[in-house]
Each structure stands twice: as C-alpha cells, then as structure tokens.
Structure 1
Amino acid sequence: MSLGALLLASLNVTLPVFVMVFIGYLLRRLAWIDYAFVTTASQLVFRGTMPVLIFLSIIRADLDATLNPALLAFFALATLCSFLASWGWAVLRVPYADRGSCIQGAFRGNCGIVGLALAAGMYGEAGLSTGGLLLGVVILTYNAFSVVALASHQPGRSANWRSIFTHIVRNPLILAVVAAVPVAALEVELPIWLVTSAGYFASLTLPLALICVGATLSLRSVKVSGGLAFETSLMKMVALPALATGAAWLVGFEGRELGVLFLFFASPTAAAAFVMAKAMGGNATLTANIIALSTLMASVTITLGAFGLKAAGLI
C-alpha cells in the first residue's frame, strides 16, 4: 500500500470522530443545543447507552482472542508510569498550586469516548470489545490517580477514599464489563429481540457522546490559555503516547492490540478531568483549557501517529 493510501486510511478512521466533535461545537454555536441538553445527554451516555454498548461488544466477542490479561496489566502499568512521569514533569515545570490540575490533564485521556470511537472505527467489533475491557482498567486507574494528584496539591484537603471506592465499584461502565464477561464466557444466548433492541439503544452512544464533547469546547478558553496549558497538552498528546506506545511495541504488542493501546494512550484529556478538578479545588479554568487544546490537537496527532504506525507495518 502506498503512503498516500495509508494516510487516507488513517484519515478515514480519525476524521469521522472529529467531524462529529465539530458538529457538536457548531450546534452549540447555532444554539440548536444548550448546556442543559449536554448535561442530560452526557448522563444518558454514561449511565445507559455506553454500558449497553460495552456489554454488547464483549458478549459478541471471542474472549479467547480479546481477553488478554497481559494487555490489561500493561495498560495499568503504562498508566502508572505516565502518572509518575507527569508528576515529575510538574515538579520541574509547574507552580505548586497548579500541579494537580496539570498532572491530571497530562495523563488522563478521554478513552471512554474518543478512544473507544477510534478503536471501533479502526477495528470494528473487535476494537470495541478490546477497548471495552480496557475501560475497566481506565476507570479504576484514572479516578484513583486523579484523586491522589489533586488532593496532594491542595493544602488542607485530603481524599475521601471510602467515597472514591464506592464511586468506582458503582461505576456503570465497570458494572457493564463485570456483567458481560461471565455471559460471554458461558456463551449465554440472549433473546434476539433483546439484543436487537439493545443494539438500537447502544448505537446512540458514540455520536451523542462526541457531539457533547464538541458542544463543551470553548475556543475563547483556548485563546486565553497560557503556555502552561499548551505544554501540558503536548505532554498528553505527543510525549506520553510516543513513550507508552514505544514501550508496548518493545514488550511485544503488535497489530490490533498495539493499535488500540496507541488510540487509548493518544486520546485527548477527558472532560471528566474538569469535573474532578472543580470538585476538589483544583484549577478548573486551566483544566478546561487543557481539555480544549488537547482535543484540537488530537485530530492531527492521532492521524499522524496512526499513519506512522501503519507505514511501519506495526498495526
């Protein structure tokens, strides 16, 4: 395949995702949707459609091919290393009061929406099932590490670990994974009408979630953001994905598994980072700027990264 064809193949995966994000931004600017819609739609995705999508993708998958404990363990380890690297960078480059927000912004990716959508675009149902299993690790590690980062840099504040643990074990995405794995392992046959209806409901997930991401983008925030937000976004979108993907290749991952790992590592900063920063007294404005900048960068960095990996024959 020529380099031009490889680039086109990469664009065919990434552009539909970011076009939906742009549509969300445009709809918000035209006042066709408002923040009340975004709030309601986000809750619908988080509590309903995405858990169903993950459940269906796992029960339809061949677990012998997709359930790879080594992959899950590597992703957890890579997330820990990214978290520690972000912390070390922040100690050297970031004022103390902003460190928690920058650490979270640098390592916490939007895997549940952007990463999963890209995995589905590149690998179809297999990408969804692999990504769905990884989301269990994502939710556990990202929430726990974010709390540590934010609590550690807010004098007088401490993490309520019991509340955090309760929040994690009740997370609908984790519950979907827990419910789906035994159904898939036991090869339980669900009624066709139920699977079809669930499929209709689950199909709302990615377009609705991506529209919500676009609707929350603020170019005004990007314009006023300083070098700190830009530097954090470069850490999130360039430095850490390159290091983590390189490490994955060195330890032996290739093909679909390496591709999904790259897409998850390279996802822009998660919108949930803003909610947590605001709740725990972090710099919410800085976090919003990082989210906006990293999302804008993602259309370029992910496309070029996927193109490079395809050209090298690694995915």
Structure 2
Amino acid sequence: MNEMLALFIATLNVTVPVFAMVFLGLVLKRIGWIDDTFIGTASTLVFKGTMPALVFLSIVRADLDHALRPGMLVFFACATLITFLLLWGWAIWRIPRAERGVIVQGAFRGNCGIVGLALAANLYGDLGLSMGGILMGVVILSYNILSVVVLSSYLEDGRTSWRAIAHGIITNPLILSVLAALPFAGFGWQLPVWLETSGDYFARMTLPLALICIGGTLSMRSLREGRTLSLQASLMKMISVPLIATGAAVLMGFRGTELGVLFFYFASPTAAASFVMVRAMGGNDRLAANIIAISTLMAAVTVTAGIFILKLSGLL
C-alpha cells in the first residue's frame, strides 16, 4: 500500500505542475490580471519564438542516437491515421452530417505541442523534450492534412487551399526549428556559450506561458453549454484514443521513454488550433470551443490516471 501511495504521489508530481499552470491561467483571466490581448500576444510569442527556441535547444543538446526514434515516428503516424479513420467511421454512424467534420477533428487532434511536450519534459527532462520535439514534425504534418480532409468533406461553405496548407506546414516555426537543430545534434556543432545561455532564458518562458494562455482561453460558459456532441467527442479524445493507441504501442513492444512520450501525445486534450481551422472554414466554432474546454479539464484526471496505470504495470 505504501509503495502504491508513493507511486501515485510521484505521478501527481508529473501532472499537477502542468495542469496547475492551466488552471492558474483560468483564474488569472477571471480576476482580470490577463486579458485576450495579452493571450493573443503571448500565444504568438510562444508559437513563433520561445517554443521553436525550446525545441531547437533540446535537440542541439540531444544525442540523436537516443532522441531520434524512427520506429516511434512511424508508429505515431500510423496510429494517428488508424484512430482518425475509426473516429470518422464512428461519426458516420452516430453524428449528424453537419457536425461530423468538427467532431472528428476535435476527437483526434491533440495539443501535443504544449501539453504533450510539457508532460514529456516534466517526466523525462531534456530527453523528453528532444524526442517530443522531433515527433512534432510528424504531428504537424499528420494533424493538418487529416484535419483539412475531414473538414473539407462536410463544411460546404469552406474554401480549402492546399497550397496555403502546404505553405503553412513548410514554414511552421516548429518544423523549421527541428530541421535547423538536426545538423547541430548530428555533427556535434556547438553554439557559443553566450548565445546558448541567452536562448535558454528565452526558451524557459515557453511552457509556463503557453499553459497559462491555454487556461486563459478556457471558457466556463462553454463547459456549462456543452451538449451531448461535445461531450462525446471529448470522451473519445481523452479515453478511447489513448486506450487504443497506447494499447497498440504496448503490443508493438514500446516501453519506457518511448511509450511515455507516445502516451502523452495521444492523451493530450484537443488542440486550440482545431477551433481556428473550424472557424476559418465556416464550421461550428462554438462546438469546437466546447470540445477544447471539456477535454482540457478532463485531461487533469485522465492523464494522471493513465500515467499511474502505466507506472503501476511496470511499462514506464
């Protein structure tokens, strides 16, 4: 019993700091210490500046023999595609046609770049950041392409420009930071000490600032207004997808750090980017916002439970 309690406390030590920052953002927004202008500016700073710096430095410091796991990258891409198709089949069976695209995207597109990466860093340190940063390239490609496919299939008023999507992927700051960092890690190049130290200061803002912004964008009104569809999508995102994908990873032989990073990415709540894409394509953005709010609040429980079970079973 004492060992189980110690394991549970160790699990909370991984998840609570991450989700505490999310709920801190929610509180700060409610008491007026941060507002939508701050959140918009800070989110831009994170996406275009601090997060690419964090990913770049984590890979530069990494030993690619340990951080670059081709099998994990291939598995994540395949598992994402399979769960996406399963969710689409479920939506055809259970969801009204007009809302299928929004529901499917909300049920498979996780917030890996912030929540998943923060959890990986909290549990595995620089190795988790390096592995998670490299995996982000696969995440960005697969999530954007599959989201456009399913939304375009049902949003009649949407206008999809594949050239614009491709340009957005190619110029994504996270992908560029990964590509820029790989030669440094591969050839053992060193940054000047002053530059690495300054970059470190800049990059350290990423996770707390990003998590506070997530909390600031949560709407309790959205949670109260959540109806059956948004709850169904959230349950799929936070329970069904992690169970299926992580179970498959276990059967494929993934263990330890690889399994942990995969679980964090599969179990991440719905990404805020899903709202942006739905809104841009003329879909039900209120439904998309509800899914983000509900799945993010659920994540504090489901991610903690998942890590505890995996640790208890000796898989992590």
String of CA shifts for 1:231-285, please: whole Å, max 9, x gaps. 1100000001010001011111100000010010000000111000100111100
Quote the residue 2:200 is aligned against: 199
RMSD over aligned Cα, in angstroms?
Answer: 0.9
Note if 1:76 corresponds to 2:77. Answer: yes
Residues 132 and 261, structure 2, Cα contact 8 Å, conserved in 1: yes
Quick check: 2:7–2:312 contact (8 Å CA) kept in 1?
yes
- Residues 86, 106 of structure 1: 8 Å contact kept: yes
**2:106 — aligned with what?**
105
Measure the CA separation in 1 of the matches of 2:253 and 2:63.
21
SS of 2:314's equivalent in the other structure is coil
Residue equivalent to 1:19? 20
Q: Equivalent residues in 2 for 1:109-148 (5 A)?
A: 109-148=110-149
Q: Which residue number in structure 1 is paired with residue 164 of structure 2?
A: 163
Counterpart mapping for 1:83-102 below 5 A: 83-102=84-103
How far did 1:158 drift?
4.8
TM-score (normalised: structure 1): 0.99
Structure-1 separation of matches of 2:61 and 2:267: 26
**Deviating 4+ runs (over 3 angstroms):** none
CA offsets per residue over residues 78-118 of structure 1, 9 Å max, x none?
A: 11111111111111111111111000000000000000000
Aligned residues: 315
Matches within 5 A, 1:284-299: 284-299=285-300
| TM-superposed deviation, 1:159 | 2.4
Cα distance in 1, alignment partners of residues 128 and 69 from structure 2: 13
Identity rate of aligned residues, in percent? 61
Checking the alignment, whether the CA contact within 8 Å between 1:148 and 1:159 is kept in structure 2 is no
Cα distance in 2 for residues equivalent to 1:22 and 1:189: 38
Give the aligned residue type for 2:145: A
Q: Which residue of 2 aligns with 1:8?
A: 9
**Matched letter for residue 47 of structure 1:** K
Partner of 1:219: 220
C-alpha separation in 2, matches of 1:65 and 1:209:
27
Q: 1:155 Cα deviation (Å)?
A: 2.2
One-letter code of the match for 1:127?
Answer: G
2:315 and 2:282 map into 1 onto residues whose CA distance is 42
Question: SS in structure 2 opposite 1:2?
Answer: helix
Inter-partner Cα distance in structure 1 for 2:150 and 2:133: 26
Alpha-carbon distance in structure 2 between the residues aligned to 1:289 and 1:43: 22
The answer to whether the Cα contact below 8 Å between 1:271 and 1:291 also exists between their aligned partners in 2 is yes
Aligned to 1:54: 55
Q: CA deviation at 1:156?
A: 5.2
Question: After superposition, where does 1:177-192 map in structure 2 within 5 Å?
Answer: 177-192=178-193
The one-letter code of the counterpart of 2:140 is: I
Cα shift readout 1:141-176 (whole Å, capped 9, x = no counterpart): 111111111111012545211110011000000000
- Contact map agreement 1:152 1:158 (CA 8 A) in 2: no
What letter is aligned with 1:155? E
CA distance in 2 between counterparts of 1:242 and 1:119 reads 18
Q: TM (normalized to structure 2)?
A: 0.98
One-letter amino acid of the structure 1 residue matched with residue 77 of structure 2: A
SS at match of 2:32: coil
Do 1:52 and 1:176's aligned partners in 2 also have CA atoms closer than 8 Å? yes
Q: Report the AA paired with residue 34 of structure 1.
A: D
